Structure 1
Amino acid sequence: MNKTHLLYFLFLTLFATSCSNTKYLPEGDLLYIGAKVKVEGNETSKKEEKALKTALKDILRPKPNSSFLGLRPKLYIYNLAGTPKKEKGWRHWLKTKVGEPPVLYSQVDLEYSKSVVQNFSENSGYFNAETTADSTRKGKKATAEYSVKPDKQYKIREVKFPTDSSLISSAVRNTRRRSLLKKDQGYSLDAIKLERIRIDARLKEKGFFYFNPDYLKVQVDSTVADHQVDLIVKVKEETPKLAETPFKINKIIVYPNYSIGSDSLKTDFNSIKKYNDFTIIDPENLFKPRIFDRVLYFKKEDLYNRTNHNLSLNRLVNLGTFKFVKNQFRVSDTIGNYLDAYYYLTPLPKKSIRMEVLAKTNSANYTGTELNLNWSNRNTFRGAELLTISAFGGVEVQVSGQNNGFNVYRVGTEANLVWPRFVSPFKLNPSSGFVPKTKATLGYEFQNRTKLYSLQTFKGSFGYLWKENERKEHVLNVTEITYASPQNVTPLYQEQILANASLGKVIEKQLIFGPSYSYTYTNTLQRRKKNTFYYKGTIDLAGNIAGLVTGANIQKGDTIKLFDVPFSQFVKIENDFRHYLKLGPDLQLASRIIVGAGFAYGNSREMPFIKQFFIGGTNSLRAFRARSIGPGSFDGSATTSSFLADQSGDLKLEFNTEYRAKIYDFVKGALFVDAGNIWLLKDNPEKPGAQFSKKFLNEIAVGTGAGLRFDFSFLILRTDFAFPIRKPYLPDGERWVLDKISFGNGSWRKENLVFNLAIGYPF
């Protein structure tokens, strides 16, 4: 079949698909393909016309069937599935889950939609708009057409707030500085509604617990000038006295062992504990009272405010100790203008044991399974401390690649103790809805790399975690200690070390200790934003104080050892920035830039292998095998014949961008481009071309590909096919390999086409 015949075939197929969508319509009905909105007249500016047209199109109902390039694939699948005989099975799933029933013209109510257009225009300040509605039929398809001829939009001349001296009027008047209603702004009913909500939120911060937006009204005076209005904000006369009264906090009563469905509020007076401003009713003495002094923001005589109300509830939830958290405020029986605060807390089971079987992938292109056994105590010392002791074992294999057969077996144990506060000689209690935490960790892991070597790793850390808000998070480890010791090094690996001395770094004994800090900012949970961001910056310091005290300097031969192992001394910084651009309801462009650098000095000549940078693999440059690229233009595949050695570097630069689109329901597609490399700071004669230089851009690896993401709610399974388009290890001038792409060539596919199977998004 030549190219001309192929084009004819594709055209006829698309045409037939398009026609078949109308073949199954009910007798006498038409397929509704959408609405057109026309703004007529010369009274509106181009900007106002565009905004009005966009808003009207968005509110019109029903919406037509989803389309792509003029086709309606979901409707086609719905028709293709026919009428399933059973309410289960492949055809039923195809019709109800993947397909989409036709949107019929009989579902369109032109008169009702015309009234919607008219009302929206008037509510947007076009008080004298003229609206018409009609429809157009073409074959078995119909379009609704709406025309609106707006008069000049009414603008706000002045916003007036209450002027009387009552407490509630004064409070409303004091909110005007941040009003959403501005002079010369177009009149908008939606803006007025939002203004009432805004005022109510500000009043809640000033003690007006019983106030709500319905107690406010905004009168509109359109007689003041030509196409201008005055807006008069008033408190309704029928507003209850309670709503006009600011309240303070009186008693704070906590029931930390409240049980839903049983009478757990019967009070044994011997179980009542007074702690500062709190009354704790805990008959079983489960919790130390000081927990609630740290977590709850309200104190006696505080003016009620919604911020402290919500922060207190968030902190109780974030303790991780309570299954249910309920709060109630009641007007005090003893003092006027005061509220009594009640907190009803239902604890989770104190101790639990959990077993997990996990499927996992990692950046080294290994896929495997892991068994975890976890024992937890959620209230270890009666202070809501969380003690977790876990044991794990697993196996990882490389499905494809040069390391196929060099499996990794892991077993180990770890203990974590988390305090819901800062364990510190200083009094620190950040004002946030998230409980600050102190975490101590001890762990051991034995890792066996089949045919190569085994590695024992002991680790310990002590540090702090706290969140300013839902977007900003800090992690400060005052110290992290890692001790790694190799065992059972095989003759095969020893033989490869003789050919490539840098492989010996992998099995060197390592002693790393020092502080680290990371800061994370993200607003990706704000789904309505078009642009969202993620940033994580990390700094890792090792052996700095010890090196300063001992005067260690490996360049002069002054190497200091602890437990007969030289301690590592370095500074490592890494920045991970991500941007997500929302292109539509189910379309997204995700991009990431990673920049990192590590510098060894003092007691170390080189960065420890486990702290260096790597690139390539399922979450990195997907067109290249994991950890196979770099450093620089060095070709690591030529150094070993049996397995592919991990390549590491002191500097890292990586860029990824991915176009993501929903195909149907739980299946999403992606097109991506990855680029980057790693480099060494110092020249290494065994790795020519590995040192960073001003020509680093000429050593960037580039790959591209496509993939599917299966979102099963409990996990996201990712499959990617990728191939390189620029190979930095080829001779200069030959590194772009676009002209060598040949999907039909088996040897090209074997060498270049990389399949990645992973869990979760790459970033």
Structure 2
Amino acid sequence: MGCKSTKRLDKTQSLVTRLEVNGVNNQFAEQAKDFVALEVRPNSRFNLWFYNTFNKKGNKKLGEAPHILDSTLVEASRLQIEKFLTIKGYLNAKVTDSIHIKNKKASVIYNAILGTEFKFRNVSFEIPDSAVKNLYLANRQSFTKIDSGKRYDTDSLAYEREQIYQLMKKNGYYDYVRQYMRPTVDTNFNKGVADVKIAILNPPDQPKHYTYTLKDTYIRIQPSSGIITKGMTRDSVVLDSQYHFFDYSKFFKPKKLKTYIFLKKGDLYNIDNSELTTQRFFDMNAFRGISVDYRKVGDSTDRTLAGLIDIVPLKKKSNRLEGEYTFNSSITGINLGVTYQNRNIFGGAELFEIKLRGGLQFDKKLSGNLSDRLLSRDYQVGVSLSFPRLITPFNFPDLGENGIPRTRIGTSYQIYKLQDNYLRRSLGANLTYDWVETKNKLHSFTPINIQYSLADINPILVQNLIDQGNAFFLFTLRSQIISSSLYSYTLNLSKLTTYSNFTFFSGNAEIGGNSAALVSQLSKKTNSDGQNTLFGVPYYQFAKLEPDVRFYKSLGGEKQLILRLNPGIGYSYGNVLSLPFEKQFFAGGSTGVRAWQARTLGPGNYNRSSLASDSVRRNLRNLDQLGDIKFEGNLEYRFKLLDNFIGAKVKGATFIDFGNIYQLRDNGLAGGQIKLNKLFDQTAIGAGFGLRFDVSFFVFRLDAGFKFKDPQFSGSDQYVYKYWFNKSEKKAFRNNYAITNGPDRYSLSQIQFGIGLPF
């Protein structure tokens, strides 16, 4: 690549391939490099290769153009680094540069001599308004970075100005502007100290700063077009003798909206309440534009403000089409979905949704036409209604200050058919409450979650399972009723799109069947297995716990390292000693161990060759590789590749995934039960790389995972990476697998498509 990267350059040109900034302490080393002009920094090798490969016809929008040495930019960058160091307290800092060129490749080296680190010494104040002075001094220690002994930093002065501005704006000072705060710095170069005087000046020709209180608030709701035409009528109403609504859309009920207006008559002006009102209206997902402003309505003695809120709604109705294509070895699948939304069905920003989903899975190894190769079909319809408030029989306090609470009611119907062997029809209903404790702490509670399923199992499959000693599968496949309650807690969800250092946590706890057990005691009916039934089918009693812990580490710029641990356990008891099909864990897939397709890994050391025949393996696809315990982990490094690739920002990732699922009890599935003394032997390991195409409103993801260690084999045979680069051995291995595990086919790699990041 080295020769190719310079061969198109003129004799007088050199490609910048190396950059060093020496003499700067670790605290500021990365920041100092940011002040070097982009053209003086080395290209990303991938970006430059991409540019040279795909720009041969003159299109220069792909990849990144070569960074050609420009001595003018080198000098400008030197001055910027020197200025940066001065800002950070090294007032005597000097920076020199040197350029070394060999074979059209240039190295740019900056050497800094920092000199004395200046520190703040004396801090004094000049604030003629005593009320402002008392307010500032009472709150100063909670935010200031200017104290005797601390490093002098011009950014600290700017930060102080901003914090004073926010403090004043939160305490009624509507007319206050940042320029009223003026710092004066007196430096003693011999002693390396800086004395600072902070002045907060009064407004011109005024003896002091004045506070303002709020009077009435006027809310205008425009039509979704954002255009109010001449002669357009409106609905008008006044609530609480202070909120004047003018609704040109005629869609909304003002009483349901006023809960999220935080401008109260008689309160002091507070900029936080303006921002809070704006954010809560956006959170309702019913508006595309919100502005909050004020108008002075009092005279020089009655300093009052009228609140002005202008709102533009989203279109009331919308449709969305979604699609997904999956493939692995001989199995391919397609999923399509249509979603209809009505964002304001009852006039209070309620969200009504109808979702239609359909999925087909094919096995290309099967003979016949396309319909003969159809492995499974999955059809779903769901209806849900979400209210931006808590609807309960209890009088809960208003929980809207930190986020919009929601009440969600939903019902769904699903038909799932696996060839001619299994048919399942399920009807479900749920009630969920979501609320926000703080910006980073989210809660969700589902007190009612019911699913009633009727199943039709091919008698031949039933007999095969019984004859082979795998009758336990019938407990998860047959007709059943599941009633449960679920609680979820999420920490730091809002930080997932940042590059800061933080820990993310999400935990789900579910318990089910106990209410059904109480109700069934009234009828005391049982089935042929002696299990109690409700509405003619057995019910399940279980408890399930699944935490998801992630550690995000910023590596500077858009580079990030993430460690994720995702364990889970489900325990069945009482009526049926098996978890329901929907509550069991599976491994693999686009957010798990990505070298395996979903539901093709585990449990434990289970190998499908232990099943009696090809037909049994075919009939049990997607049914036998489930577990009561899950442990998956991921280590992923993310980095930027291209700033612009056909309108998208391209980011890369490399990853190592590990984990598996396990059976808690010995149900006869060979190798499926968890063995703590053989846990590593039962662990799968995969590695790979991926691309993420960020087009601002969603991220399209493509990951390639490669099997490194496969627990379905034993001993050294688990380390299947040995077949990565040995074609003859790989071919023999796959041919043998096709004989012992037919109709399954073995693939050392798996391509995963997805929308959004995996975690």
After TM superposition, the score normalised by the length of structure 1 is 0.85
| 1:634 and 2:606 aligned | yes
In structure 1, give the amino acid aligned to 2:758. Answer: P
Query: Residues 616 and 262 (structure 1 numbering): CA distance in 2 closer, same or farther, change over 3 Å?
Result: closer
Residue 364 of structure 1 contacts residue 618 of structure 1 at CA under 8 Å; is this kept in 2?
A: no
| 1:646 and 2:610 aligned | no
The residue that corresponds to 1:453 in the other structure is: 422
| 1:679 and 2:658 aligned | no
Following TM superposition, by how much is the alpha carbon of 1:572 offset from its aligned partner in structure 2, in angstroms?
0.6
The residue that corresponds to 2:501 in the other structure is: 531
Q: Deviations over 1:54-87 (max 9, x none)?
A: 443331224435456xxx4544554556752xxx
1:124-273 pair list within 5 angstroms:
124-162=88-126, 164-178=128-142, 179-223=144-188, 226-238=191-203, 244-257=209-222, 260-262=226-228, 271-273=236-238
The residue that corresponds to 1:757 in the other structure is: 752
- Within the candidate set 560, 564, 570, 2:542 is matched to 570
The residue that corresponds to 2:570 in the other structure is: 598
Following TM superposition, by how much is the alpha carbon of 1:698 offset from its aligned partner in structure 2, in angstroms?
3.9
Determine helix, strand or coil for the equivalent of 2:727. Answer: coil
The residue that corresponds to 2:34 in the other structure is: 58
Query: Residues 463 and 710 (structure 1 numbering): CA distance in 2 closer, same or farther, change over 3 Å?
Result: closer
- Within the candidate set 468, 487, 490, 1:517 is matched to 487
In structure 1, give the amino acid aligned to 2:492. Answer: T
Residue 129 of structure 2 contacts residue 202 of structure 2 at CA under 8 Å; is this kept in 1?
A: no
Deviates more, 1:132-141 or 1:445-454: 132-141
Following TM superposition, by how much is the alpha carbon of 1:398 offset from its aligned partner in structure 2, in angstroms?
5.7
The residue that corresponds to 1:440 in the other structure is: 409
Following TM superposition, by how much is the alpha carbon of 1:114 offset from its aligned partner in structure 2, in angstroms?
4.1
The residue that corresponds to 2:700 in the other structure is: 716
Residue 210 of structure 1 contacts residue 243 of structure 1 at CA under 8 Å; is this kept in 2?
A: no
1:290-439 pair list within 5 angstroms:
290-333=255-298, 336-350=302-316, 352-354=317-319, 356-361=321-326, 367-397=332-362, 405=373, 407-425=375-393, 426-439=395-408
Query: Residues 162 and 542 (structure 1 numbering): CA distance in 2 closer, same or farther, change over 3 Å?
Result: farther
Q: How many residues align?
A: 722
Determine helix, strand or coil for the equivalent of 2:279. Answer: helix
Following TM superposition, by how much is the alpha carbon of 1:563 offset from its aligned partner in structure 2, in angstroms?
0.5
Unaligned 5+ residue runs, structure 1? 1-16, 40-47, 85-90
1:78-89 pair list within 5 angstroms:
78-79=51-52, 84=57
Q: Write the distance in 2 (CA, Å) between the matches of 1:98 and 1:512.
A: 53
Residue 365 of structure 1 contacts residue 625 of structure 1 at CA under 8 Å; is this kept in 2?
A: no
The residue that corresponds to 2:6 in the other structure is: 22
Unaligned 5+ residue runs, structure 2? 735-744
Q: Write the distance in 2 (CA, Å) between the matches of 1:116 and 1:394.
A: 58
| 1:502 and 2:454 aligned | no
The residue that corresponds to 2:737 in the other structure is: none
Following TM superposition, by how much is the alpha carbon of 1:613 offset from its aligned partner in structure 2, in angstroms?
1.4
Q: Write the distance in 1 (CA, Å) between the matches of 2:578 and 2:652.
A: 42
Q: Deviations over 1:457-486 (max 9, x none)?
A: 100001112234553322211210111111
Following TM superposition, by how much is the alpha carbon of 1:97 offset from its aligned partner in structure 2, in angstroms?
0.7
The residue that corresponds to 2:742 in the other structure is: none
- Within the candidate set 674, 686, 697, 1:704 is matched to 686
Q: Deviations over 1:388-427 (max 9, x none)?
A: 233343323367999x945222233221111111001223
Determine helix, strand or coil for the equivalent of 2:381. Answer: strand
Determine helix, strand or coil for the equivalent of 2:746. Answer: helix
The residue that corresponds to 1:544 in the other structure is: 514
The residue that corresponds to 1:31 in the other structure is: 15
Following TM superposition, by how much is the alpha carbon of 1:38 offset from its aligned partner in structure 2, in angstroms?
4.3
Q: Write the distance in 2 (CA, Å) between the matches of 1:707 and 1:399.
A: 27
After TM superposition, the score normalised by the length of structure 2 is 0.85
Residue 310 of structure 1 contacts residue 433 of structure 1 at CA under 8 Å; is this kept in 2?
A: no
Determine helix, strand or coil for the equivalent of 1:675. Answer: strand
Q: Write the distance in 2 (CA, Å) between the matches of 1:147 and 1:297.
A: 54
Residue 21 of structure 2 contacts residue 33 of structure 2 at CA under 8 Å; is this kept in 1?
A: yes
Q: Write the distance in 1 (CA, Å) between the matches of 2:365 and 2:40.
A: 45
The residue that corresponds to 2:80 in the other structure is: 116
RMSD: 3.7
The residue that corresponds to 2:727 in the other structure is: 744
Determine helix, strand or coil for the equivalent of 2:40. Answer: coil
Following TM superposition, by how much is the alpha carbon of 1:297 offset from its aligned partner in structure 2, in angstroms?
1.6
Determine helix, strand or coil for the equivalent of 2:252. Answer: coil
Residue 604 of structure 2 contacts residue 683 of structure 2 at CA under 8 Å; is this kept in 1?
A: no
Query: Residues 25 and 648 (structure 1 numbering): CA distance in 2 closer, same or farther, change over 3 Å?
Result: closer
Residue 671 of structure 1 contacts residue 706 of structure 1 at CA under 8 Å; is this kept in 2?
A: yes
Q: Write the distance in 2 (CA, Å) between the matches of 1:262 and 1:654.
A: 55
Determine helix, strand or coil for the equivalent of 1:244. Answer: coil
Residue 42 of structure 2 contacts residue 67 of structure 2 at CA under 8 Å; is this kept in 1?
A: no
Deviates more, 1:146-155 or 1:658-667: 658-667
Determine helix, strand or coil for the equivalent of 2:661. Answer: strand
Could you tell me the percent identity over the aligned residues? Answer: 26
In structure 1, give the amino acid aligned to 2:665. Answer: K
